[in-house]
Amino acid sequence: MAEEYMINKTYYRTILDDESLSHPVRSLGHAFFKEQSEKGGNLASLRFAQGEVYYYHKDLEAAIQKWQNVNNELEHWAKKNIGDAYYELGWLGEAETMYTSIKSSDPVLTVEVALQLVSLNEELNNKDRVYKFIRTAMSTDPDYPNVTTIARTIYEGRQDWENAVDLAAVEAMRTENLHWFETLIGYVNKGHTSLFAPTYFEHVLVKLYELDESMFSQLTKSLWHQYQESLAYLSWMELINRIFASLETIQMTDKRIVLDLHHESYLELMKGNYLVKELRPVLSGLLVNWLNISPENAKLFPATAMLAWNDIFPSTIEQSLLQKAEDIVQRLKTDVSLDDVHELLQSLLNWAETNQINIGFKKEWLISQMTERDKKHLFITGASRRGKSSVMNAILDETLFGEEAFTLFVHSSNDDQAEMIEITEEGSQVVDDITTLTENTLVDLKWPSRHLKELGCSLVSSPDFSQYVTQENDRFEYSNVVDGILYIIDGERPMMDKAILEAETIASKVKHVPVHFVLNNVESVDEEELKQVLKGSFPDAQFYSYSSHRSSDSLVDFINVHFTFKSNTTKQISRAKLLYFIRESLTHLLDQRVSRVKALESNIAFQEEMKESFLELERELVEMREEKSNIITSTYRLEKEELKSKIWREIPVLLSESASEISEDSDYTTLHDDIDVFMNNKIQDYIEINVIPQFQASLQKWMEDTHEEMKETEDFLISKNEWFNDKYKEKKVNLACDFVIFKDWKRDINRMTNRMEIDEVKFMNQLKPTQFLLKSAGKLFGNLQTNNQLLFKQYQKFIENGNFEDVTGTIINKIFLEFDLFEKALKSDLKMSFQESVDKVIDHKEEADFEINKANEKLEEMRKSPEYFHDPLRIFEVRLLQYEMMSE
């Protein structure tokens, strides 16, 4: 009670009587005056009380002054009140200094100060100090009113779920108050406990089981589901196994939640996602606990699971427990949920898909058809293809089939439209003509038929039973996976004997599937004797005497009466079908492991061969590129140089012949210019008449020869394409020679030859000094008639004997400038024409190298860790064996 007065600042009420409380300031003032006048008066207590009254009247300065002068046992509370006043004034620094200066052993005061410091530091957003002082408060007195509630609010407000969860768990264990366990369940359900190790909750769960079994189930379920989706799942399973094993007797009123969790976890753990070494520490404990907590009518599942696990992994469960499980199986009626069996098949298929193990489209299609719950299948077979086809045609009211040797599924068409689809390992495709189908093909036929609608089932027909089941690869025993067998016996003696043998084979394989017989044209044998023989193997069989003269309606009625596809027996048939498919799929997947290793090794060998071949082809292409480049550029250069040589020989002669154009009557004052004009015209005519046509012809021939050279390259590449694509068995390699350069070359050559002309040349300016003097003399004496003859002879002499090498070189350089540049670009062009093919070859080589590395890595992984393949299949085998036990 005294602490309440301190906390609420109502200590003054303990000093004043009821009458004085109406005027506390005046009353305390009188009391202080009176006490002060007395020697040894208790002024400190009165000051403390006065401070409280001033505080409530908002005279905080007066209150502080009073409290500062308190020096008795109330001193620590006075300091706390001063801190409150500072806090009220907004002087947070001063308030915190005052609060932290208090050193008291009073737990109430310590908690109150700590809570004030929590509020103060919340305002300052100082998380560390908030946490420090709330922990101080809880460690001082966790039962102090609202302390843990305040702590929870702080942690939740900051979304500090680690501390919030820890608070709830600690308080739950300390107080054993179910409120805190409920809070913890809420945290789990919201995902706030995912970072905690499962072992953290061990004591909490055990304590809760002692307090409230129903809430224990709720918390267990929440934690179970949380860890089921995490990496700590197996650690959780070890913990929960340990907890249930430690509870000697589990007297829970409602065990459904816990039983469902065990069942759910068993299925989850057995989906092939864990290795055997990971499951060994947890599965045995799970099964033992599950069996122990299960009521009598629910013990079959864990008992068979225990026996199956120990059968595949011997010595993992104690003999006494195995004996207990065997007793349960013998005592209880065996039964297995169709949902559980279907889930196992789907888990197996999902595992195969996830691990990229190909079951094959054909088998997947068959499984999907035969396991669809609303679909029923009647298998029509027999030793005679003719008799079987007759019955099929009769049911369909259409002559569709002869003696084809393929497997056929016939469904009723919903839209009265017929459709025939071929099912292969690669996929499915529509087929228009039944005669194009090959032996052992799988066909899905949708056909509009009133009889099929009446029967409510699909028809399945395969090649002769005795032949088909012995095929190596696509062996598929339809007798194990259909809902009924209609066996056709032909009346001819050899066929009938064969049919009886086949019927006995069916009898040895079929347990739950009804088998009935159609006797086709058996007039030649004793029908009753035949029936008695067949009854020996099929005591429940019924017989229909078929004749082409009888109405097909009667055959359909016979099927409808004796094949009851909606009876309870169909559940057994469906379960047997699923179990057969699971067993077949497991065998297939084990075979796939061996096949996959061989396929990887074969692929490595193939890719290495391809890599080496591409490497060799790359070398050949580079060599061919150099060879063709040298041939093509050298032949071009030869043509060009031959023409240059011709021009070197002929232009000087043409220029020397220009002397004949000079006569004594020539105007020697302009003769130099006239000769230049004449020579330029003569050279241009020479180029147009003699050079261009010849060069065009020689370059045309060069282009043709070059094309042939490149055609050899193209033929070489085509042959390589064919070789590689034949190896790859697909059009993967497409190397080609780039003939675009020929269009470019042709355009460039036409452009260059059409522009083969030279600018005007000043031939007389090329003369030597003596010739220059002659030119000057012509200008000087040209008007003197007596000197014409002299000049004429001199001009003729110098032109006829003139040296035109320099001017000829200039002409050739001008004519062939672009052709020389064209020659320099030839090698670059040819390199580019090969480059795309070279690049493709390099890409193919690198791809082959990548495939080799990938296959080697996969092979190494498979050889290094075979358990990643074999363990899941062994685990699936445990479940299969369990369901087979439950189906017996």
Residues 682-717 have pLDDT tens digits of 888 888 888 888 888 888 888 888 888 888 888 888
Examine the pLDDT at 591 and tell me if it is beyond 80: yes
- Residue 573 in any domain: the answer is no
Mean per-residue pLDDT for 116-124?
95
More confident of the two residues 843 and 788: 843
Report the percent of the chain where pLDDT is more than 70.
88
Whether residues 477 and 610 fall in one domain = no
Mean per-residue pLDDT for 761-773?
53
What's the pLDDT at 228?
A: 93
- Any idea which residue has 């030119």 for tokens? 775
Domain that holds residue 560: 377-564
- Give the model confidence (pLDDT) of 44-69 as tens digits: 888 898 898 999 999 999 999 999 99
What's the pLDDT at 763?
A: 62
What's the pLDDT at 694?
A: 84
What's the pLDDT at 542?
A: 92
- Residue 424 in any domain: the answer is yes
For 741-867, where are the E strands, in sequence order?
Answer: none
Do the Cβ atoms of 184 and 204 come closer than 8 Å?
A: yes
d(CA 824, CA 384): 81
Whether residues 442 and 559 fall in one domain = yes
What's the pLDDT at 569?
A: 60
What's the pLDDT at 472?
A: 37
What's the pLDDT at 615?
A: 94
Examine the pLDDT at 470 and tell me if it is beyond 60: no
- Give the model confidence (pLDDT) of 868-877 as tens digits: 889 999 999 9
Backbone phi and psi for residue 751, each to the nearest 5 degrees, phi listed first: -65, -45
What's the pLDDT at 474?
A: 43
Examine the pLDDT at 778 and tell me if it is beyond 70: no
What's the pLDDT at 633?
A: 84
- Residue 517 in any domain: the answer is yes
Mean per-residue pLDDT for 286-298?
92
- Those residues with Cβ within 8 angstroms of residue 844's Cβ, 6 or more apart along the chain or in another chain: 610, 614, 724, 732, 733
Whether residues 465 and 411 fall in one domain = yes
Whether residues 539 and 652 fall in one domain = no
First to last CA, the chain: 77
The amino acid at residue 276 is V
583-587-592-597 Cα dihedral, nearest 10 degrees: 140
Tally of domains in the chain = 2
d(CA 420, CA 416): 13
Count Cβ atoms within 10 A of the Cβ of residue 698 and give its class: 0-12 exposed, 13-18 middle, 19 or more buried.
middle
Whether residues 608 and 736 fall in one domain = yes
Examine the pLDDT at 641 and tell me if it is beyond 80: yes
Mean per-residue pLDDT for 99-110?
94
What's the pLDDT at 493?
A: 60
- Residue 703 in any domain: the answer is yes
Whether residues 557 and 683 fall in one domain = no
d(CA 223, CA 202): 11
The amino acid at residue 565 is F
Whether residues 614 and 538 fall in one domain = no
The amino acid at residue 647 is I
- Give the model confidence (pLDDT) of 137-163 as tens digits: 999 999 999 999 999 999 999 999 999
Whether residues 536 and 608 fall in one domain = no
What's the pLDDT at 770?
A: 42
Do the Cβ atoms of 614 and 845 come closer than 8 Å?
A: yes
Whether residues 638 and 707 fall in one domain = yes
- Kind and range of the H or E run holding 382: strand 377-382
The amino acid at residue 718 is I
Examine the pLDDT at 278 and tell me if it is beyond 90: yes
Q: What average pLDDT does the structure give for the chain?
A: 84
What's the pLDDT at 1?
A: 47
What's the pLDDT at 473?
A: 39
- Any idea which residue has 């829970």 for tokens? 252
Across 78-82, 582-586, 634-638, 823-827, least confident range: 823-827
- Residue 449 in any domain: the answer is yes
Q: Which of 843, 881, 654, 813 is nearest to 734 (CA)?
A: 843
What's the pLDDT at 145?
A: 93
Examine the pLDDT at 277 and tell me if it is beyond 70: yes
Q: What is the pTM of this model?
A: 0.69
Examine the pLDDT at 231 and tell me if it is beyond 90: yes
Q: Check residue 687 and report its DSSP letter.
A: I
Full 3-state SS string of 611-657: HHHHHHHHHHHHHHHHHHHHHHHHHHHHHHHHHHHHHHHHHHHHHHH
DSSP 3-state of 543: strand
- Residue 138 in any domain: the answer is no
Mean per-residue pLDDT for 370-394?
82
How would residue 26 be classed by pLDDT, with cut points 50, 70 and 90? confident
Mean per-residue pLDDT for 803-823?
79
- Give the model confidence (pLDDT) of 304-354 as tens digits: 999 999 999 998 899 999 999 999 999 887 778 888 888 999 999 899 888
What's the pLDDT at 304?
A: 95
- Residue 396 in any domain: the answer is yes
How would residue 567 be classed by pLDDT, with cut points 50, 70 and 90? low
Within 10 angstroms of residue 814's Cβ, the number of other Cβ atoms is 14
What's the pLDDT at 60?
A: 92
Paired tokens of 887: 């189906």
CATH number of the domain to which 539 belongs: 3.40.50.300
The amino acid at residue 27 is S
- Any idea which residue has 């595992």 for tokens? 351
Whether residues 667 and 816 fall in one domain = yes
d(CA 515, CA 212): 57
- Residue 714 in any domain: the answer is yes
Whether residues 755 and 857 fall in one domain = yes
What's the pLDDT at 2?
A: 73
d(CA 336, CA 417): 40
Q: Which of 626, 624, 633 is nearest to 716 (CA)?
A: 624
More confident of the two residues 117 and 531: 117
d(CA 304, CA 341): 14
What's the pLDDT at 524?
A: 64
Whether residues 436 and 548 fall in one domain = yes
* CA 90 to the chain's CA centroid: 60
Mean per-residue pLDDT for 619-645?
84
What's the pLDDT at 553?
A: 87
